Amino acid sequence: MTAFPDDMTIARQAVLSPIEAIGTKIDLPPEALYRYGPYKAKLDLAAINGLSQAANAKLILVTAISPTPAGEGKTTTTIGLGDALARQGRKTLVCLREPSLGPCFGMKGGATGGGHAQVAPMDEINLHFTGDFHAITAANNLLAALVDNHIYWGNALGIDPAKVSLRRCMDMNDRALRQIVVGLGNNGQTREDGFAITVASEVMAIFCLARSLSDLEERLGRIVIGQSFDKKPITAKDLQAAPAMTALLRDAFQPNLVQTLEGTPTLVHGGPFANIAHGCNSVMATQTALKLADYVVTEAGFGADLGAEKFFNIKCRQASLRPAAAVVVATVRALKMHGGVAKKDLSVENTAAVTAGLGNLLRHIENMQKFGVPVAVAINHFTADTAAETDIVRSACERIGITAHVCRHWAEGGKGALELAGTVAALAESGIADFRPLYPDALPLVEKIRAVACEIYRANAIDIAPAALRKLERYEAEGFGALPVCMAKTQYSFSTDPDRRGAPEGHIVPVRDVQLSAGAGFVVALCGDIMTMPGLPRDPAAHRIRVNEAGLIEGLF
């Protein structure tokens, strides 16, 4: 059997360029960069705000089939596609989210790609990076502290402690903090509270959707922290919190510039999860990239039913983005799992299982086409894949007019995704994209939830808990009815049952609660058993992460 170097070895053998040299590839002078060591920098806001919009910039979304333990490689494909476009002489920027410490130390490990399709320096990006998530955590918790401080000092706003909806946050999986009690020991009003993971916080969502520092402050001020005793919403602006929160976020709001192992400029900024938030990198980074390059390749988290749906219905709607093409990533291994094969048996050829699992891929393609965006398929290649298995996927795509390419970017870098890049560029340049959101702003909130559940998840119905339905009615009465919805749902299935793989239909989507994110500009619908604070697995990745004798970090993959 051929022995392949691991991701970390490949990353350390790569020769990186000084970050100033990466900046020159997108016409940024050294004075526009704030250096964080030799290989990463933040972009000066004044410099990027002065750039004119490139009229012909093409925005390309990379999404995927429903994730499985077999892996799909969406980030790896995003990076490989960006490198391939750059190899073809196209001025390209890749836009990614920042990894969360929760998954890094939990089950997933690092999130900077893999093999020869990585962004670097991967250990720094996967851990503290430039401190953005720490700043977002601090801003959220400043607001939480101001809420309880206001109640302690007389509660002039009449905040009802039982109706405080804002949760504290930290960027770590810690199930013990899902439900806590604060104010013990005569330190304020005793009340129930809890933590969300930072990437699920409204501050993170706002950070990634704001278009300027002034927009950031205005959105932060709109955060509804709870209700008064007379049932009126209380906001961060009422608590005079937004200016100080913005001060904490000022430096973090500058997009981060790094590079792929092939030297393709990459902006890594923001990181909301797609199963409990909107799952896209920052609008600030995406709009900056569109000004600096001709092709911008970005990704949205988890399967297309989550990240891509929210990219189209939330991010593109709010930021007036018009994507030119989309790529759906699939692997033969994952399709076998959707076809009923256990993970331990994936290395054995099984064309019947690939055929059985195709329904998941085809469903995602159909859903993407509902948004008016042309689609290509990337078959992310694994060494155990056979020609017979990949031919089944390509033939199935061809029958519906979709081009699928076997991609080997993990092993070959951008060279392994050149055919995909050619197809994607042709789609983007064809002008056939006619982007449209799934539902209009004027549709009632309940009907927006129903539209996603029935059109994207292929459910027969939704079942909204009575208390959640009353909240939706109140949001409508308070003027929030035009907001899009952000569905919080398991990433593993079109249904709310994580064990229902493939392409289930005819199910019911239960909505147990809804939450208003007025600053972010959407209403969250909590479906099934999804939680905003994950827990660590029995054997977390943290058990294998260490600093070796040479001072290098090991175990992030």
* Residues marked as catalytic: 74, 76, 97, 108, 274, 302, 382, 410
Q: Residue 424's closest CA among 364, 377, 363, 371? A: 377
The string of DSSP letters for 428-482 reads HHHT------SS-TTS-HHHHHHHIIIIIS--SEEEE-HHHHHHHHHHHHTT-TT
What distance in Å separates the CA atoms of residue 150 and residue 540, rounded to the nearest whole number? 39
- Geometric angle at alpha carbon 438, from 434 and 443, rounded to 5°: 130
Cβ burial, residue 199 (10 Å; 0-12/13-18/19+): buried
HSE on the CB side for 365, CA within 13 Å?
A: 21
Nearest to 509 by CA among 472, 473, 471, 456: 456
- Supply the angle between the helices 213-221 and 242-249 in degrees, to the nearest 10: 140
The dihedral sign for the CA sequence 453, 457, 461, 462: negative
The per-residue DSSP string of 317-332 comes to: HHHT----EEEEEE-H
User: What are the backbone dihedrals phi and psi of residue 359, each rounded to the nearest 5 degrees, phi first?
Assistant: -55, -35
CA torsion angle for 471, 474, 475, 478 (degrees, to 10)? -160
In whole angstroms, give the CA distance from residue 352 to residue 284.
45
Asked if residues 298 and 78 have their Cβ atoms less than 8 Å apart, the reply is: yes
User: Which of 56, 63, 556, 57 shows the shortest CA–CA distance to 301?
Assistant: 63
- Spatial contact of 168 and 140, defined as CB atoms under 8 Å apart: yes
State how far Cα 521 lies from the chain centre. Answer: 17
Q: Are 472 and 523 contacting, i.e. CB atoms less than 8 angstroms apart?
A: yes
